Amino acid sequence: MYRAALLAAVVAGCSFQHGVVPGADSGGGNGGGGSDGSLAGTDARSDGTAGSTAHVRMLDIDDTRVTGGPHTDFPLLVSITQPWLRTAAMGGEVARADGFDIYFSADQAGATRLAHEVEVYTPATGTLVAWVKLPSLSPQTVLYLHYGDSTVTTDPQNVHAVWSGGFAGVFHQRTLADATGNSAQLQSTASGTAGGEIDLATTFDGIDDQVSLGSATALDNIFVGGGTAEAWFYARTWGENGFGRIFDKGHVSGWSLTVDNTDAPASVVFLHGTTTGGWGFWTANNSVTLNAWHHVALVYDKNLTANDPAIYIDGRAVTVTRDTGPNAALVSDATVALTEGNRSALDRTFDGFLDELRLSSGSRSAGWIATEVKNQAEPSQFFAIGPEL
């Protein structure tokens, strides 16, 4: 449970609300890269010496929002707007307009840094959207937010390290970049961006938009031995020809994840190709709705004898119906590029908004998925922010 000393000091606020109609860009910028180590042990001071920041606050995880675990290398979403996170010029306590003096640690002194990535920092409002890698997340986890040290001169982000815990591709949507660093060739013909579930979402017109997520080796055969595909989506209709793509890696020559209102009313469909065709799985009727944000997670191991996937909608496992059994060997998708919001033939365009697409080279647990959905859907409720220490 929350620490008693913090109960009177909960001042968390969130700029992005679950379930809202996608809106305009809220401003901010995207972070840079770093080394592949998950922790850094010294302050980024201009003279290279260690020291404490000017301000520090505890972030205390709400025990009731962590399901299962402990979860190793968990990327925590910190999405807050606070007056003290404005720059000093704007009446706050952050020293730099680029936010370089904002970082996270496992201890109050700041000796054990936690790798983090900043999606947005807006100095005028004190809005921060960041991902923080927790080496282990359990109900008793606390971490510390540091800010305001005017001697910091270099960017403390370590973006790739945040996503080193089994992630093969992480696509936030603000920029055409893979936060893991695995994919380099991303191209978009989509209609633009709008306010998403986390930060910005990519807009798809239901006609011919698509985003190519590249053909990096890390994205190939993600389900061999177990893999996970997940995304936030907001569908205005069921998409072009009634099968709007979320992910597509070749369909019958690979796999795809799509919304559907034809084979099963208001469902999500997973299709995987075989050497003589393909086979598919449908979620329960009316498991998703139009004009609302939903999270989908697909966990699948193509090496298992049963070959049945688990599909989670909004953090909860749903009933999955198998269309047909595999009529031949499942194919490799190594020669096929991964596409978001369409397939290569441009006849399965998603109609709506896609946000925070991820692939993992391992099977995420039900507890992991439930916990990340709670964190991302209501980040302001996931932890309490303590008073300045």
Look at residue 22 in the predicted model and tell me its pLDDT. Answer: 54
Going by pLDDT thresholds of 50, 70 and 90, the confidence category of residue 303 is: confident
pLDDT digits (tens, 9 = 90+) for 217-258: 999 999 999 999 999 999 999 999 999 999 999 877 899 999
**Percent of the chain beyond pLDDT 70?**
85
Q: Taking the alpha carbons of 235, 208, 231, 18 in that order, is the dihedral positive or negative?
A: negative
The CATH number assigned to the domain holding 238 equals 2.60.120.200
Average pLDDT, the chain: 86
Instruction: Answer whether residue 145 is part of any domain.
Output: yes
What is the pLDDT, as a whole number, of residue 9? 35
Residues 160 and 188 reside in one and the same domain? no
Asked if residue 306 and residue 192 are part of one domain, the reply reads: yes
In a domain, 370, yes or no: no
Residue 262: count of CB within 10 angstroms of its CB: 11
Is residue 321 domain-shared with residue 222, that is, in the same domain? yes
Whether residue 130 is found in the same domain as residue 51: yes
Note whether 258 and 145 are same-domain residues.
no
Q: Are residues 222 and 104 in the same domain?
A: no
C-alpha 311/C-alpha 343 separation (Å) is: 21
Overall pTM surpassing 0.85 (yes/no): yes
Q: What is the pLDDT of residues 117-138, one digit of tens each?
A: 999 999 999 999 999 999 999 9
Gap between the Cα atoms of 84 and 8, Å rounded: 18
φ/ψ of 350, rounded to 5, equals -70, 145
Q: Are residues 203 and 159 in the same domain?
A: no
Establish if 74 belongs to a structural domain.
yes
Quickly list DSSP for 21-72.
PP-------------S-S---S--BTT------SEEEEEEE-GGG--S-PEE
What b/e sequence results for 15-39 when a residue is b if at least 16 CB atoms lie within 10 Å of its CB, and e otherwise? bbebeeebeeebebebbeebeeebe
Residues 92 and 214 placed together within one structural domain of the fold: no
Instruction: Kindly state whether residue 113 falls inside one of the protein's structural domains.
Output: yes
Domain that holds residue 275: 167-361
Task: Report if residue 300 sits inside a domain.
Answer: yes
Q: Are residues 122 and 179 in the same domain?
A: no
Q: What is the pLDDT of residues 97-108, one digit of tens each?
A: 999 999 999 999
* 371 inside domain: no
The verdict on 123 and 197 lying in the same domain is: no
Residue 372: inside a domain = no
Rounded distance, CA 233 to CA 244, Å? 11
Domain count, the chain: 2
- Kindly report the backbone phi and psi dihedral angles of residue 374, in degrees, each rounded to the nearest multiple of 5, phi listed first: -60, -40
Residue 236 lies in a domain: yes
160 and 268 part of one domain:
no
| CA distances to 81, 123, 139, 191, 366 from 142, in Å | 19, 25, 9, 40, 22
pLDDT (tens digit, 9 = 90+) per residue, 73-82?
A: 999 999 999 9
Q: Are residues 149 and 199 in the same domain?
A: no
